[in-house]
């Protein structure tokens, strides 16, 4: 009886082992699926975190830009006021410059300039500079004996930048270098004059 039951038990054990192996394979497959899904969730979370960091950085940059350049429209509209102050100061006769009310006007001009400078306004340099199309605008181009071509001769109107950003170019007169010389025609004229003088001398000597 024991010998007859042995094959049955062996078959039963083999069947249980196959079922167990199949179950293990199913569990491993399910585990791999969960791992892949967890990896996907991790990648999505990392992407979302990176995107959140980028959004925060962009928002901070926008706030910084607004803080720095938010006064640009007001500053641009006040440039004409600065121009008028400068014209008024230049037109004040020397005899009136010692008057108290004149000093008060000059002081208001300086205070306005200082206030705008505190918010990032700066003048564009022109004295001794070479013309730069990114911050200068040429009103005229003239020959100049002592300034090389491209050099700035004089400033017509001040230019300004706000935190390095151009808000009004400087209007300038630009040199084209020394003008063309007229030495050749002058030499020819001198030679002709000398020839005429010699001819006159010869005529006088012949007459004598």
Q: Dump pLDDT digits (tens) for 93-117.
A: 888 878 888 889 899 999 999 999 9
Domain positions in the chain are 16-69, 72-175
**What value does the mean pLDDT take over residues 3-31?**
74
pLDDT higher than threshold 60 for residue 156: yes
What percentage of the chain exceeds 70 in pLDDT?
A: 79
Q: Dihedral sign, CA of 82, 84, 85, 87? A: positive
**What value does the mean pLDDT take over residues 142-154?**
92
pLDDT band with cut points at 50, 70 and 90 for residue 189? very low
User: Which of 175, 124, 130, 129 has the alpha carbon at shortest distance from 149?
Assistant: 175
The structure tokens listed for 19 are 């079922």
Strands 170-175 and 136-142: parallel
**What value does the mean pLDDT take over residues 59-88?**
88
Q: Domain 72-175 falls in which CATH fold?
A: Nucleotide Exchange Factor Grpe; Chain A, domain 2 (2.30.22)
Q: pLDDT tens digit string along 56-65? A: 999 988 888 8
CB atoms within 10 A of CB 69: 16
How far, in Å, CA of 201 to CA of 193, rounded? 12
The structure tokens listed for 26 are 């199913």
- Length of the chain counted residue by residue: 208
How far, in Å, CA of 159 to CA of 136, rounded? 8
The predicted model scores a pTM of 0.59
The pLDDT score that the predictor gives to residue 196 is 53
pLDDT band with cut points at 50, 70 and 90 for residue 11? low
* DSSP E strands, the chain: 121-123, 136-142, 152-157, 160-162, 165-168, 170-175
pLDDT band with cut points at 50, 70 and 90 for residue 194? very low
CA distance between the termini of the chain: 177
How far, in Å, CA of 193 to CA of 179, rounded? 26
């Amino acid at each position: 009886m024991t010998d007859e039951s042995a094959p049955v038990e062996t078959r039963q054990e083999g069947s249980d082992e196959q079922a167990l192996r199949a179950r293990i394979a199913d569990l491993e497959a399910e585990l791999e699926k969960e791992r892949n899904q967890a990896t996907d969730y991790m990648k999505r979370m990392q992407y979302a975190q990176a995107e959140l960091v980028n959004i925060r950085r962009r928002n901070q940059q926008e706030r910084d830009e607004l803080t720095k350049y938010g006064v640009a429209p007001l500053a641009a509209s006040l440039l004409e006021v600065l121009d008028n102050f400068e014209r008024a100061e230049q037109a004040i006769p020397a005899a009136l410059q010692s008057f108290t009310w004149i000093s008060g006007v000059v002081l208001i001009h300086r205070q306005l300039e200082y206030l705008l400078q505190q918010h990032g306004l700066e003048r564009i340099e022109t004295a001794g500079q070479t013309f730069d199309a990114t911050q200068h605008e040429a009103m005229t181009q003239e020959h100049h004996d002592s300034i090389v071509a491209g050099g700035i001769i004089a400033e017509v109107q001040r230019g300004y930048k706000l935190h390095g950003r151009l808000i009004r170019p400087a209007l300038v007169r630009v040199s084209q270098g020394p003008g063309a010389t007229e030495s050749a025609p002058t030499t020819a004229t001198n030679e002709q004059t000398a020839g005429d003088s010699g001819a006159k001398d010869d005529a006088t000597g012949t007459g004598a």
